[in-house]
Amino acid sequence: MADGALIEAQGLTVRRGNRVLLDDVSFSLGAGQVVALLGPNGAGKSTLLKTLVGLLPFSGGLRLDGRESSQLDRRERARLVAYVPQHSALDVALPARDVVAHGRFAHRDLWGRPARNDEAAIDHAMDLTDTRRLAERSFNRLSYGERRLVLLARALATEARVLLLDEPTAALDVTHALGLLHLLRDLASRGALIMVALHQLNEAAQASDQALLLAGGRLVASGPATVVISAEPVRRVYGVEMVPAAQFGFRMPTQKDSAP
Amino acid sequence: MKIALTYLVLLVLLVGAVALAMLVGHGSLADPTLRSTLLGLRATRVGAALLAGAALATGGAVVQGVFRDPLVSPSILGTTAGASLGGQLAMLALVSGSPLASLAVSAEMVLPLGCLVGAGLSLAIVLAFCRERTGTLTLILTGFILSSLFLALSSFITSLAQDSWDMSRAVVSFTLGGVGGVSTRQLVAASPLVAIGIVACWLWSDNLDLLLSGEDEAASLGVEVGRARRWAVIWVAVLAAAAIAVGGNVGFVGLIVPHTLRPLVGVCHRRLIPACALLGGAFLVACDVIARVFPSRSELPLGVITGIIGAPVFLILLARSQREVSHG
């Protein structure tokens, strides 16, 4: 196993019937980085994320924080790997704070008694995602973008070292999308491993250190984001030409911007 | 504050319903020679209605959580019909001449057991056919088909029981639902089942809450989904069986009560389940009072009253859910 690897996949293969959804995917990822998971629609990004969370049966090897994936029970895995799906099935009149509190489930004992630092972890997760203002509002009354932020807060409340996000910026306005990517970088700088499936290559180039490029269930390129998100792999997988300089882009404001 | 007030109101309702049920009915409490007998009889049927109502309402809240569908309940899913069929089969098995009758097994024990097998079997069939992404319509249709099958079999059993006048009356009375003929021994047999069922469901509240997010998300948050669903089904079967064993085939309680309470106490099962137990008990005790005082030649079956109240409520909920779907 690679030293300090939080995720180590070896020949990961997922089949559904006769279809091969992931084909012999191998990689090793350590803490403290944002990893962009790229690829066109149907490339296997969501399948890979679900496999890492333990939602799909697979063949091949998978070690999480040095332990065989198969040896982890559900709660242990949930304390290690948090997941924000692309589409949540949650649609009930539950206060947003209660939804975030679901992230503490794996820390509770079998009687459901709250852990000592539950409240602090929930508050922290809501502060990071700017969702304290939504705390008492019903989840099913929130906008789609607000729901995404609350679900991210739920994942952060798990305090897992590995955070997997499937298209997290899809429904966010530019401010919240940039804020989210900034937050992911911040979490990575504190030692988390963030794996984020993205469609927008410019977002991925801006936010990630490493990138995995999937096509047809196979890993076709991996390495530093600047290398993976370059003309040749992009042309090969997406069939488009990269334009070196966009006409305009966005970034979060700095102190320099607000200076008179 | 709102939740505490709701619980207080529920307690007042329960106490009021029980007090009314003890005071109202055939016979005069003013007669000292009859008073203790009447109070004893009424206490038994109040206890039976309390247990059945609490069990069915709790079971309703749990199946709605497990199937993530507010339109299901033990009666809609065919669980109560399955329990009822199981109970009838158990009664039939006790007819003199059958092998069970020769074992001298008490009817009070066999009836809940038969109901439990019937309820468990029907829920297992629903679970086998309806996975997470099954739509409401499929769920309701599956329940309808199961209910129809169980009712057809029940009719067959009723026809078999016609050889014996007593058995025929007992089977028909059990099928229609009612707490009039419940014995203290039946109550004693059903009480632990209801208590264990409600407490167990309450202890599984966190799992049920997380299942509201769907199986994948619940699993990613640490829920052993298969185990949680299996145990939830077992406890609902226990509750439905105990309820049917003391109250006969009483429908719609598990649908009406959780729906009434969700806007007041929220969807969190840790708060919803105790509230359902309180209101379910109060509701069925009140229905039993109506059954007793309704001017008719004979006492109205309890299932008729809950059906008259429950069916329109179900249709309103169905119409509302279809409106929500069509409005996106």
Does A42 map to a domain? yes
Q: By the 8 A CB rule, do B271 and B261 touch?
A: no
pLDDT over 70 (residue B327): no
- pLDDT of B321 reads 66
Which residues in chain B are closer than 8 Å to A98, comparing Cβ atoms?
209, 266, 268
At B188-243, the pLDDT tens digits run: 888 999 999 999 999 999 999 999 998 899 999 999 988 888 888 788 888 988 89
What would the mean pLDDT of A210-222 be, rounded to a whole number? 94
- For residue A77, the enclosing domain spans 5-245
Cross-chain residue pair A75–B214, CB shorter than 8 Å: no
Nearest residue of B to residue A102, measured between CA atoms: B210
pTM of the model: 0.85
Q: Is residue A258 part of a domain?
A: no
Q: What is the pLDDT of residue B126?
A: 83
Q: What is the average per-residue pLDDT within B6-27?
A: 92
**In this complex, which of B206, B263, B268 lies closest to A94 when CB atoms are compared?**
B268
The domain locations on chain B are 2-287+294-326
ipTM metric: 0.89
> With an 8 Å Cβ cutoff, are A94 and B217 in contact?
no
The pLDDT-based confidence of A245 (bands split at 50, 70, 90) is low
Q: Which of B68, B220, B227, B259 best tests the A interface by mutation, with the highest count of A CBs <10 A?
A: B220
Q: How far apart are CA B244 and CA B154, in angstroms?
A: 14
Q: Which residue of B has its CA nearest to A109?
A: B206
Work out the pLDDT band at B299, boundaries 50, 70, 90. Answer: confident
Residue A211 sits in a domain of what CATH number?
Answer: 3.40.50.300
pLDDT class of A1 with cuts at 50, 70, 90: very low
Which of A74, A97, A158, A159 would you mutate first to test chain B, the one with the most B CBs within 10 A?
Answer: A74
Partner-chain contact B222 A106, CB within 8 Å: yes
Alpha carbons B147 and B122: distance in angstroms, whole number: 9
* Residue in chain A nearest B215 by alpha carbon: A89
Do B206 and A112 lie within an 8 Å CB cutoff? yes
A225 vs B78: which has the higher pLDDT: A225
pLDDT, tens only, B84-122: 888 888 888 776 556 656 665 666 677 778 888 888 888
pLDDT of residue A98: 95
Q: What is the pLDDT of residues A55-104, one digit of tens each?
A: 999 999 999 999 999 999 999 999 999 999 988 889 888 999 999 999 99
Residue from B221, B231, B321 to probe the interface with A (highest A Cβ count within 10 Å): B221
- Residue A147 inside a domain? The answer is yes
Query: Which positions in chain B touch A93 (Cβ < 8 Å)?
Result: 262-263, 266-267
Eight-state DSSP code of residue B295: -
Total domains in chain A come to 1
| A-chain residue closest to B264, CA distance | A93
State CA B11 to chain mean position distance. 20
CB contact residues (below 8 A), chain B span 29-58, against chain A: none
Question: Could you say which of B217, B222, B223 has the minimum Cβ distance to residue A89?
Answer: B217
pLDDT band for position B328 (cuts 50, 70, 90): very low
Q: Is residue A241 part of a domain?
A: yes
Residue A141 CA from chain centroid, whole number: 24
Mean pLDDT of chain B: 84
Q: Which fold has domain B2-287+294-326?
A: ABC transporter involved in vitamin B12 uptake, BtuC (1.10.3470)
- In this predicted structure, what is the pLDDT of residue B319? 78
